[in-house]
Chains A and B, each alone.
Chain A
């Protein structure tokens, strides 16, 4: 069973739509991550939240807007996306302490932009 739950699993949207991706974990992890992954490529880090505060923003375009309502939830709001944004979006979480803990990944949301 996946300990990090992502919804929806698939999403098709037009370039003018607004949608949100959701991620939830109940492992008590205080760091949560969004990654973008293209086929046969490694995940590219987009955002990191630690203790519900944005700690890393990898110069992601503003059409992607993250939100961390509480320690268990992480959202990614999408608006005016481009065809090149089509990809697998992965959410992950990790313990903050002790350092060096592995990330736990969700199944991902397969996003297609028309």
Chain B
């Protein structure tokens, strides 16, 4: 069975600084997808970034980028130039690439605080 681990329950970052949230996962599959979701206090879960396991290039979305280390099964999220609006719970998630598989496996989350 696949598992996703987020070892940092809470992180703080100064506004305009850079922070990295860690995520590790365990799987025996070679085809899968990884996601970072953000859930602000207003509660809607929003996709931040998506990574395909077969792509070696790290995904980026504006100030958000990932460090995907497939051999180490690590998928960390880097937030550059942190803004107050980045304060939220961040969840790492895994989905199998097998057709007909619908289950997303979530980590326990990291609460990010942004200090003004």
Hey, which bits of chain A sit against chain B, CB under 8 A?
A: 2, 31, 33, 40-43, 45, 48, 50, 55-56, 88, 90, 92, 94, 97, 99-100, 102-108
Contacts and interface: CB of A to CB of B under 8 A. Distances in A.
Contacts of B35: 102
Contact of B44 (A2, A31, A40): A2
A70 to B, nearest CB: 18
B43 A100 contact: no
A74 B95 CA distance: 22
Please tell me the size bucket of the interface on B.
Answer: 20 to 34
A107 B97 contact: no
Interface string B29-73: 000110101000011111100101000000000000000000000
Contacts of A48: 102-103
A56 B107 contact: no
